Amino acid sequence: MTDWIQRWKEGKIGWHRQKPNSKLIEFIDCLELQQGDCVFVPLCGKSVDMLYLLDQGYQVLGVELSELAAEQFFAENNLTFTTNKTKFFTRYIGENIQILCGDYFDLSAKDLAEVRGVYDRASLIALPSDLRVKYAQHLYAIIAPGCRVLLLTLNYPQSQISGPPFAVNQAEVESLYEKGFECQQLQCFDDLENEPKFQRSNVDFIEKATYCLRKY
Ligand SMILES: C[S@@+](CC[C@H](N)C(=O)[O-])C[C@H]1O[C@@H](n2cnc3c(N)ncnc32)[C@H](O)[C@@H]1O
């Protein structure tokens, strides 16, 4: 089991990127958002993708286990914030953005009442297979009907290297979201040439896939 809090303390956050994800920029329209709509970013870390969403005129609601991640997000982007505590979460509140620090599995539909779209990069693939099932079921339970999800995943031969990130192939995505969601794969390509860590492990391929889901 990954100790995420410890990873943040030790700065072992190899997944973090300095620039917004190109697939978010390319496919954000699939979320069919209106200006001012709120986008939920599960397991958000200190992702600058949240900054991109703010810059596009959306509100952001993130959830993240590590308070260090939330503090670094606000400090590194020169954003002011206040905090308050609820039963399960410490709420970091900035302008048009809130990061709830606590466990994703403690979120309720009430917490996400304002959410109109979901952006999931590197959260499904951060979890081992049993938790992925729980993660997808919980997402179904907390988002409203009609809500769309832009989902970015990775797939590679899991026998050649261990996660996280864990390999999640198209069949698994379809099975995880078969109950209650429409699921469309928008893109999938092998990006081994840009993944030196996977090259060093002699992995045969690393597919990057983008999906658009819609809760019925
Ligand atoms: C692989 S990182 C991805 C971060 C972010 N989505 C990004 O693209 O940079 C996974 C993040 O999920 C957080 N996390 C793991 N399990 C969680 C849980 N049950 N609830 C909330 N956050 C969690 C970790 O602390 C970590 O920051």
Q: Determine if ligand 1 sits within 6 Å of the CB of residue 44.
A: yes
Tell me the per-residue pLDDT of 177-199, one tens digit each, with 9 for 90 and over: 999 999 999 999 999 999 999 99
pTM, whole model, 2 decimals?
Answer: 0.97
Pocket test for ligand 1, best of 4, 16, 71 (most atoms within 8 A of CB): 4
**Do 117 and 31 contact (CB within 8 A), yes or no?**
yes
Tell me the per-residue pLDDT of 130-182, one tens digit each, with 9 for 90 and over: 999 999 999 999 999 999 999 999 999 999 999 999 999 999 999 999 999 99
Neighbours of 205 (CB within 10 A): 14
Tell me the per-residue pLDDT of 201-213, one tens digit each, with 9 for 90 and over: 999 999 999 999 9
Q: Determine if ligand 1 sits within 6 Å of the CB of residue 101.
A: no
Say how far apart CA 118 and CA 109 lie, in whole Å.
Answer: 13
Q: Determine if ligand 1 sits within 6 Å of the CB of residue 211.
A: no
Three-state DSSP at 198 gives helix
Q: Determine if ligand 1 sits within 6 Å of the CB of residue 107.
A: no
Give the model's pLDDT for residue 1.
67
The full set of domains in the chain, from first to last, is 21-215 (3.40.50.150)
**Residue found under tokens 């039963």:** 87
**How many whole angstroms from 5 Cα to the centroid of ligand 1?**
10
Say how far apart CA 33 and CA 93 lie, in whole Å.
Answer: 22
**How many whole angstroms from 112 Cα to the centroid of ligand 1?**
18
* Inter-residue long-range contacts of 7-15, CB under 8 Å, 24+ positions, other chains counted: 8/66, 8/68, 8/69, 9/68, 13/45, 13/46, 14/197, 15/45, 15/122, 15/126, 15/165
Give the model's pLDDT for residue 2.
78
Tell me the per-residue pLDDT of 61-115, one tens digit each, with 9 for 90 and over: 999 999 999 999 999 999 999 999 999 999 999 999 999 999 999 999 999 999 9
Tell me the per-residue pLDDT of 15-69, one tens digit each, with 9 for 90 and over: 999 999 999 999 999 999 999 999 999 999 999 999 999 999 999 999 999 999 9
CA-nearest residue for atom 14, ligand 1, is 43
**Do 127 and 103 contact (CB within 8 A), yes or no?**
no
Say how far apart CA 109 and CA 67 lie, in whole Å.
Answer: 22
Pocket test for ligand 1, best of 3, 19, 77, 123 (most atoms within 8 A of CB): 123
